[in-house]
Amino acid sequence: MDLRRRVAERAGHCCEYCRIPQAWTSVPFQLDHVIAEKHEGETSFANLAYACLHCNSFKAPNIAGHDADTGEIVRLFNPRHDNWSDHFEWNGALVMARTAIGRVTVAVLRINLPYRVAVRASLIEEGLLRRF
């Protein structure tokens, strides 16, 4: 099985950051280098995440962000080592941070931009977005 398919299956065909399902988006998902190639991250199963266009584009080569609450530089959520629900929780269609890592990830990846929340709200209403 090719690498892209293995990464997609491991992710349940959902973005590993914002949890939107690939099936209900028009643009194919991308393979995100959790540790970007710029930072010597490898193109390997262990360093790839399944990501929607928005999350991957906003994340770009970032591996950390500025936490506006504390002024600290905090690493981003790492889907290969972190559990999503340890760092995020749902509030309707909003992805809320539970930790500093969650806070900077929501901010850097712009996960709660209004148009993105609106899409998730529609999917939730139609029962097409799994929240856990």
Q: Which residues bind Zn ion (CB under 5 A)?
A: 15, 17-18, 52, 55
Half-sphere exposure of 76 (CA within 13 A, CB side): 28
Minimum CB distance to Zn ion smaller for 34 or for 55: 55
> Shortest approach of Zn ion to residue 131 CB, angstroms?
14
Cβ contact 95:105 at 8 Å: no
Helices (H) and strands (E) in the chain, counts: 5, 6
How crowded is residue 127: how many other Cβ atoms within 10 Å of its Cβ? Answer: 7
> Shortest approach of Zn ion to residue 54 CB, angstroms?
6
> Shortest approach of Zn ion to residue 41 CB, angstroms?
18
Minimum CB distance to Zn ion smaller for 23 or for 71: 23
